[in-house]
Amino acid sequence: MKFFADTADTADIADLAATGLLDGVTTNPSLIAKSGRDFIEVTREICGLVDGPVSAEVVALDHAGMMREAEILRKIASNVCIKVPLTLDGLKTCKALTGEGTMVNVTLCFSANQALLAAKAGATFVSPFVGRHDDNGYDGMELISDIRLIYDNYAFETQILVASVRHVMHVYEAAKIGADVMTAPPAVIRALVKHVLTDKGIEGFMADWAKTGQSIG
């Protein structure tokens, strides 16, 4: 499973990228607004911090507007992935951009039927929002499982990018189902390494080592 960071905080991205565990980044208008920085400037900086895809979202809602914005965004860097909403205009834009060799992330997916449409439009990634799906009384992981089944049935190459990840169990369950990618806030990614027994084990080892009075180097 690929790990993307869902943030526009370049300090967090740089820190996670240094671990070698980060495969890409997703942003959206809300995250850009939270950063308080210029959209193009921060996107360019993020693209320089990671080798993998960096999703930059259009804000136009019509096909012509999306194409105009995508033309600007994909000039920022070679690893920009254009993010479009799962609407008919978004799917039309997806088809046009992928036909030109541009990576596209179709976002705000909440049903398997929508994911099927994204795959037929040639999306590089489809982003089902599991956390928001859970919030509305549905099972986000059941949605991921349904999409995985449908994509495998037809050998679609579109990658399932699990989004709106709220906690480490979302990552665990998505990995068991076979999702291709997950994108999560940096805090969730860092939480994956945590376990009380690991902490206790280190504490015990350090206490025993101190008793030896030795040092390494």
Judge whether 83 counts as a catalytic residue.
yes
Question: Looking at residue 154, what is its pLDDT?
Answer: 98
Q: How confident is the model at residue 110, as a pLDDT?
A: 97
The strand ranges marked E within 110-212 are 125-128, 159-162, 181-184
DSSP helix/strand/coil, 132: helix
Residues 6 or more apart whose Cβ sits within 8 Å of residue 38:
none
pLDDT at 12: 97
pLDDT digits (tens, 9 = 90+) for 142-164: 999 999 999 999 999 999 999 99
**pTM for this model (two decimals):** 0.95
pLDDT digits (tens, 9 = 90+) for 50-91: 999 999 999 999 999 999 999 999 999 999 999 999 999 999
Indicate the range of 63-72, 131-140, 168-177 predicted with least confidence.
131-140
Quick one: pLDDT at residue 133? Answer: 92
Q: How far from each other are the two terminal CA atoms of the chain, in whole angstroms?
A: 38
Among residues 196, 132, 187, the alpha carbon closest in space to that of 163 is found at 132
Residue 38 pLDDT class (50, 70, 90 cuts): very high
Question: Can you name the residues that pair with 136 across neighbouring β-strands?
Answer: none
The rounded radius of gyration (Å) of the Cα atoms in the chain is 19
Q: Shortest CA distance to 157 belongs to which of 125, 117, 185? A: 125
Each residue of 111-132: pLDDT tens digit? 999 999 999 999 999 999 999 9
DSSP strand E in the chain: where? Answer: 2-6, 24-26, 54-57, 80-85, 104-109, 125-128, 159-162, 181-184
DSSP state of 129: B
DSSP state of 42: H
Predicted confidence band of residue 217 (pLDDT cuts 50, 70, 90): confident
Mean pLDDT of the chain: 97
Q: CA 105: distance to chain centroid? A: 9
The single residue of 2, 34, 75, 83 carrying the catalytic annotation is 83
Contact between residue 192 and residue 175 where contact means Cβ atoms under 8 Å apart: no
Domains recognised in the chain with CATH numbers: 2-212 (3.20.20.70)
Return the closest-CA partner of residue 1 out of 184, 177, 150, 179.
Answer: 179
Cα distance between residue 72 and residue 70, in whole Å:
5
